[in-house]
Structure 1
Amino acid sequence: MDLVMGSVLILTCLLLFSYWKRSCKRGKLPPGPTPLPIIGNIHQIDVKNVHQAFTNFSKIYGPVFTLYFGMKPTVVLHGYEAIKEALIGHGEEFSGRGSAPIFQMISKDLGIGFSNGNAWKETRHFSLLTLRKLGVGKRSIENQIQEEAQFLVEELKKTNGSPYDPSFILTCAPCNVICAIIFQNRLEYNDQGFVNLVEKLNANSKILSSLWLQENHNQQSIYTRENLIATLNDLFVGGTDTLKTTMRFALLLLLKYPHVTAKVQEEIDRVIGRQRSPCLQDRKQMPYTDAVIHEVQRFIDIAPNSLPHEVTCDVKFRNYLIPKGTAIVTSLSSVLYDSNEFPNPETFDPGHFLDAKGNFKKSDYFMPFSAGKRVCLGEGLARMELFLFLTTILQNFKLKSLVPPKDINDTPQANVISVSPPPFQLCFIPL
């Protein structure tokens, strides 16, 4: 018994010492709720509604506050001004990337997404140059997306208007665009190798979206076979999963709000017609469609807290001192759902991106791709694909819901890193 009591006493003292030591360091960090030993503030956060928890903390501690996920501090940036000041005003200092165990295990901190320092800068620069040489940002890529959109339409016609879950095919289309860029060749949707690739991408998405963050870093040379493989994996995952999810959400919201769908299809008929494929030039003449696509991305808030950042050096930020290596979480939800910029942000309303005359209205608060030096590498490609895929589908099909629009559940299902729409089916009725 004495041995047990002694062990408990020693353990208690160690925990108290750890807590005291950590509390001393907190004096340099932004304020935040008092953490418990070992678990930190995890017990105060509902993982199914992290945005609301962060909003509540921000009301008490301000737009920059500190939380502990376990034993390590994480600084949370809440609201447009704080995020802009950090990611753009102090872009270099906040350009580090925190890591998650599963990513570290798979990529070993290689590739674009989770590398750091010079390795990340060189890999990103190399990837941008290579993608440009392969046609990204040029007319050739637009042609490839248009071609893929037609293959997508032909595949949807095979459903004969029957109830259909489009999840798999909406993974195939953007995945094939990446194949066309990297391998200069698309694959047939029924090709077994391609099917296996798509299935693995979907499986990886489910695994990776359910994990909590930690930090672990390892600098390595970028010019290795391993780094190339990791970079290709980042391109496939980043260029496929988020677009598939956004497309699924877009179809769900178009079913939920048939009056919005009708206005988009009226604009398609007026600007494009039925005889030719949509092209990017059409977007300038289609403000309502452009506003709908932006509102889909704002409303679904696909990466509520983005991927974790970390500071690359000791940073003085708003009179706080954030030590080098401290994890940073940017609450993109607090920007996309800012009620001053977007009245009634909980409501899906394309009017958030239209002025009084019906012209498209840009917003600095539109940050679904994050901002600063870690902004999504494929933002331009994703915007091209969203416009061309959605307009081509709506040019060719009437979307029919299996339930009354008012009964459609459009509430995003939150994961730790991203969100996904609830499962649904619809009928694609050829026009």
Structure 2
Amino acid sequence: MGPSEVLVAVLICCLTVQFVKLLWKHRRLPPGPLPFPLIGSLWRVGWKVRQDTLMKLANSYGNIFTLWIGHTPVIVLSGFEAVDDSLTDNPEALSGQPMFPVFKILGNEKGIMFSNGKTWKQQRHFARSTLQKMGQIKMSLEHQIEEEAAQLVEAFAREKGRPLDPSLPIMHSVSKVICSLAFGHPVAVDEKALHELTEHISTVTKFRGTAGEIEKIDSTTTFDEDNLVQVIFDLFAGGTDTLVATLSWALLFMVAHPDIQEQVQKELGSALSPSKLVCYEDRKRLPYTSAVIKETQRFSNVILFGAPRVCVDDMNVLGNFIEKNTLVIPDLCSINLDPKLWETPRQFNPNHFLDKDGKFIVRDEFLPFGTGSRACLGKHIAQVELFVLFTSLVRAFTFRLPEGVKEVNTEPVIAAVVHSCPFKLCAVPHWLQPTEDQGWRV
């Protein structure tokens, strides 16, 4: 037997041993596709991930199944019952953050998003308490969002109905709100944004102890400049891209469904004064508009899967034992597209959030901001921004396809955040009032 034959024989033996080990470990986990050495069970997923990829596997293996990524088992939670039972009923047991290499690079195990243990608990508590204090002065923050909405309307109006990419001005407005949260005042976001952001973070790190926190604490605390900078990064990472994607989808859906856009505008026209800025309190008088926003979040699925979690303790989910240190992924899309929960899950239908009398209803199975111990901290702020920015734009403009474009492309681009394909639309003035400087204001 030559060297090449020996090498092949050794390789086959090694793969066989690995395969047997996988089968032995597989027997103690929830059911799932058969894993193979090196590739795991990704052969059942395919090269192109779609919104319903994991849902199809759940149809074969149940709502709690095991998917192998290489030699690492991942427990997938599919459907509202499985997600709610694990994340809501066992929040602490499933609060761990996996430390993938890319996460270590992004967060260095500091801040909120990419940390664990004492660091995560202290930084999350700090962020939650800070946001709660801001909630006590929420009128100031909400007023600023209202002003940003007016400036966003003016930015759209300056295009005078010409085709524009809406994501760019939306990104500017959303980023300025996050800047206010992080630095206490809005920052102009343009081509110099990265430089300005770096300068402001530097200012924060040099602003030691002014508020009494950082220098008057014990040596075991995690409150330091590195964590503070990382928390600011987390605010931007969690509060911009998802919001921009959702608002862009909302405008695209208005173009795709002009009848729904018209019904929103009729409700706005009858419920709101044309001389008054839109505020978050107006949602109580705008059930259909509120339903359209919620349906946008459901149907766009900008977050297909919840953040990966690691079990910090052994746990049992719907009769399935999951041991400590196991990686778990909640499939949020399986909730949003579940035909048992939604009348027409594959269609954009605001009636999913309306009762028979046209009143807005809260759906417990609607989890756009996640649930459990690692749910989105900025939920309220995001809700205010979504409502005020969307409502202000649709009240001011009718959104249409550019001349010569015949079809609306609603095919999603699957990534960490699900965006629409790049598109342009025309914002035709619908309800604007000129200002003294020849600008436009709602």
Using the size of structure 2 for normalisation, the TM-score is 0.87
Q: Which residue of 2 aligns with 1:64?
A: 64
Counterpart CA distance in 2 for 1:321 and 1:307 is 21
The Cα shift of 1:153 comes to 1.5
Q: Which residue of 1 aligns with 2:386?
A: 386
Indicate whether 1:166 and 2:166 are aligned.
Answer: yes
Residue aligned with 1:339, SS: coil
Percent of aligned positions with the same letter in both sequences? 35
Counterpart CA distance in 1 for 2:298 and 2:317 is 28
Moved more, 180-189 or 347-356: 180-189
The Cα shift of 1:19 comes to 2.3
Q: Which residue of 2 aligns with 1:334?
A: 334
Counterpart CA distance in 2 for 1:101 and 1:404 is 47
Indicate whether 1:183 and 2:174 are aligned.
Answer: no
Q: Which residue of 1 aligns with 2:343?
A: 343
**Aligned counterparts, 1:26-45, within 5 A:** 26-45=26-45
Cα distance, 1:264–1:231 mapped onto 2, change above 3 Å: same
Q: Is the 8 A contact 2:107 2:113 kept in 1?
A: no
Moved more, 8-17 or 336-345: 8-17
Counterpart CA distance in 1 for 2:355 and 2:68 is 42
**Aligned counterparts, 1:2-401, within 5 A:** 2-46=2-46, 48-135=48-135, 138-190=138-190, 192-193=192-193, 222-401=222-401
The Cα shift of 1:189 comes to 4.4
The Cα shift of 1:56 comes to 2.2
Residue aligned with 1:325, SS: coil
The Cα shift of 1:80 comes to 0.7
Counterpart CA distance in 2 for 1:228 and 1:155 is 33
The Cα shift of 1:138 comes to 1.7
What is the one-letter code of the residue matched to 1:120? W
Counterpart CA distance in 1 for 2:404 and 2:351 is 24
Counterpart CA distance in 2 for 1:360 and 1:47 is 40
Residue aligned with 2:356, SS: coil
Cα distance, 1:193–1:62 mapped onto 2, change above 3 Å: closer
Cα distance, 1:79–1:168 mapped onto 2, change above 3 Å: same
Q: Is the 8 A contact 1:28 1:322 kept in 2?
A: no
Q: Is the 8 A contact 1:136 1:181 kept in 2?
A: no
What is the one-letter code of the residue matched to 2:379? E
Counterpart CA distance in 2 for 1:427 and 1:316 is 52
Moved more, 110-119 or 274-283: 110-119
Counterpart CA distance in 1 for 2:348 and 2:195 is 34
Counterpart CA distance in 1 for 2:418 and 2:351 is 23
Q: Is the 8 A contact 2:82 2:318 kept in 1?
A: no
The Cα shift of 1:370 comes to 1.4
What is the one-letter code of the residue matched to 1:354? L
Moved more, 104-113 or 336-345: 104-113
Counterpart CA distance in 2 for 1:170 and 1:347 is 25
Moved more, 89-98 or 250-259: 89-98
Residue aligned with 1:34, SS: coil
What is the one-letter code of the residue matched to 1:347? Q
Counterpart CA distance in 1 for 2:285 and 2:107 is 43
Q: Is the 8 A contact 2:182 2:235 kept in 1?
A: no
Counterpart CA distance in 1 for 2:66 and 2:235 is 32
Q: Is the 8 A contact 1:305 1:330 kept in 2?
A: yes
Q: Which has the larger radius of gyration?
A: 2
Moved more, 60-69 or 101-110: 101-110
The Cα shift of 1:16 comes to 2.1
Structure 1 residues not aligned, in runs of 5+: 199-219
Q: Is the 8 A contact 2:85 2:318 kept in 1?
A: no
Q: Is the 8 A contact 1:163 1:427 kept in 2?
A: yes
Counterpart CA distance in 2 for 1:119 and 1:197 is 24
The Cα shift of 1:131 comes to 2.6
Q: Is the 8 A contact 1:135 1:181 kept in 2?
A: no
Q: Is the 8 A contact 2:52 2:334 kept in 1?
A: no
Q: Which residue of 2 aligns with 1:209?
A: none
Return the structure number with greater helix share. Answer: 1
Q: Is the 8 A contact 1:40 1:68 kept in 2?
A: yes
Q: Is the 8 A contact 2:97 2:116 kept in 1?
A: yes
Residue aligned with 1:373, SS: coil
Moved more, 33-42 or 47-56: 47-56
Residue aligned with 1:374, SS: coil
The Cα shift of 1:134 comes to 4.0
Counterpart CA distance in 2 for 1:234 and 1:136 is 22
Taking only aligned residues, the RMSD between alpha carbons, in angstroms, comes to 2.2
What is the one-letter code of the residue matched to 1:243? L
Using the size of structure 1 for normalisation, the TM-score is 0.89
Q: Is the 8 A contact 2:52 2:333 kept in 1?
A: no
What is the one-letter code of the residue matched to 2:265? Q
Moved more, 354-363 or 6-15: 6-15
The Cα shift of 1:85 comes to 0.6
The Cα shift of 1:135 comes to 4.7
Counterpart CA distance in 1 for 2:50 and 2:309 is 17
Q: Which residue of 2 aligns with 1:212?
A: none
Q: Is the 8 A contact 2:82 2:317 kept in 1?
A: no
